[in-house]
């Protein structure tokens, strides 16, 4: 090394965008852990009335989405580099890191059965659309804070546009037993398309084990009454046990339609991409059939199970 190139002790190296990019992701994951996961101080499920501990929307889920988003964008970049550059891949990962950082919800009571009030369920009703918009605000605010700290322009207007569009692309609707993301259009950027696909991509990308495990976690998170009853070891009547068991079995059967629906919609969702990108992304989403067959086997296995057997199989702590 030339002596003139040796940094002097008093010289301060200006951190790269890459370093701040990693810091952004870690900030989002740390915030998710703080907001929605159990803490070392003993915080457990439903310790207080307004508890926010979640089973599905955690840092682990977000880490999966970051990974899947990066894989999709790098896959497109390899065959169509004009569509995705390095900065766009980073934008997708940042959007993935922040996309679920706000999880506001209300408990919704729904009567079922014969409508006489004996059978009802209490589920988590999320503020879809509002949560995603609030997540965008948090992401952009943190970008602003970093730029104020460094005094530089680390994130371009295009990057901010990518991050905003991608997070809003994950707003879910439910049709025909599966998720539809209506903010994705033919004009959507590859970054937004990648995050949208990644967010509900377990069936195609990761396969049966990931899909089944995620489905069980989402059930535990959404079905507040069952999760609370199990956590507090409530004494349940046989009628209630039967009712809870039927909901768990119905959910498991519904997962078949969810995976089948995702497989069908996937082709529509990648259609705006150039054919080389379609083929490359399709190869990444190669596990739909195995997931669908596994979901069917899962439902068959659980059909004869008792409530006690089901709560163990669904991953509840008992």
For the chain, the structural domain boundaries read 16-115+123-313
pLDDT (tens digit, 9 = 90+) per residue, 160-199?
A: 999 999 999 999 999 888 999 999 999 999 999 999 999 9
Q: Which residues of 50-60 are buried (b: 16+ CB within 10 A; e: fewer)?
A: eeebbbbbbbe
* Pairing, β 173-175 against β 120-126: unpaired
3-class SS letters over 67-133: HHHHHHHHHHHHHCCCCCCHHHHHHHHHHHHHCCCCCCEEEEEEECCCCCCCCEEEEEEECCCHHHH
Rg (C-alpha) for the chain, rounded Å, is 22
According to CATH, the topology of domain 16-115+123-313 is: Catalytic domain of cyclic nucleotide phosphodiesterase 4b2b (1.10.1300)
Greater pLDDT, 47 or 232: 232
**Both tokens of residue 281?**
């992304």
Mean pLDDT of 134-161: 91
What mean pLDDT, rounded, does the chain reach? 89
CA dist 79 and 275 (Å) reads 10
pTM of the model: 0.90
pLDDT (tens digit, 9 = 90+) per residue, 77-126?
A: 999 999 999 899 999 999 999 999 999 999 888 877 655 556 788 999 99
Q: How many helices (H) and strands (E) does the chain have?
A: 12, 4
């Amino acid at each position: 090394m030339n002596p003139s190139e040796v940094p002097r002790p008093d010289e301060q190296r200006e951190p790269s965008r890459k370093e701040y990019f990693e810091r952004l992701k870690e900030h989002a994951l740390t915030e998710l852990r703080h907001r929605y996961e159990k803490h070392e101080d003993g915080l457990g499920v439903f310790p207080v009335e307004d508890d926010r501990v979640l089973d599905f929307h955690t840092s682990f889920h977000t880490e999966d989405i970051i990974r899947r988003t990066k894989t999709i964008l790098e896959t497109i970049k390899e065959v169509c580099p004009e569509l995705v550059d390095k900065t766009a891949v980073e934008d997708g990962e940042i959007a993935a890191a922040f996309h679920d950082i706000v999880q506001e919800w209300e408990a919704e009571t729904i009567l079922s059965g014969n409508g006489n009030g004996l059978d009802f369920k209490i589920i988590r009703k999320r503020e879809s659309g509002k949560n995603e918009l609030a997540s965008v605000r948090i992401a952009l605010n943190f970008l602003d804070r970093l730029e104020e700290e460094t005094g530089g322009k680390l994130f371009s207007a295009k990057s901010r546009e990518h991050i905003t569009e991608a997070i809003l692309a994950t707003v879910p609707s439910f049709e025909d037993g599966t998720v539809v993301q209506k903010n994705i259009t033919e004009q959507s950027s590859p970054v937004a398309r990648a995050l949208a696909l990644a967010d509900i991509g377990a069936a195609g990308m990761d396969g049966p084990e990931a899909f089944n495990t995620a489905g069980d976690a989402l059930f535990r998170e959404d079905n507040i009454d069952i999760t609370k009853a199990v956590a507090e070891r409530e004494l349940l009547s046989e009628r209630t046990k039967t009712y809870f068991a039927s909901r768990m079995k119905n959910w498991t059967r519904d997962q078949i339609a969810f995976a089948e629906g995702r497989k069908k919609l996937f082709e529509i969702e990648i259609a705006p991409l150039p054919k080389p990108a379609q083929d490359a992304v399709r190869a990444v989403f190669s596990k739909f059939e195995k997931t669908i067959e596994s979901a069917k086997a899962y439902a068959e296995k659980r059909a004869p199970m008792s409530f006690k057997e089901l709560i163990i199989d669904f991953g509840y702590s008992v």
